[in-house]
Amino acid sequence: MSYKDDSLMKKKFFVKMLNFNKYISFCMFFLENSSQLFW
């Protein structure tokens, strides 16, 4: 495992985390808005 591979893995991991955070915030946003709509 070279340094280059390691940095690539970190980048991939970072992108995954960013996407995951976007997904979570989208879900929270949707839940908040839907609760306002339905209750």
Looking at residue 38, what is its pLDDT?
Answer: 60
Q: What is d(CA 39, CA 19) in angstroms, rounded to the nearest whole number?
A: 30
* Token duo for residue 39: 């209750």
1-39 pLDDT tens trace = 577 888 999 999 999 999 999 999 999 998 888 877 665
On whether the pTM is more than 0.75, the answer is no
Q: What is d(CA 34, CA 28) in angstroms, rounded to the nearest whole number?
A: 10
Listed residue (36, 32, 37) closest to 24, CA to CA: 32
* Token duo for residue 14: 């970072």
Q: What is d(CA 35, CA 39) in angstroms, rounded to the nearest whole number?
A: 6
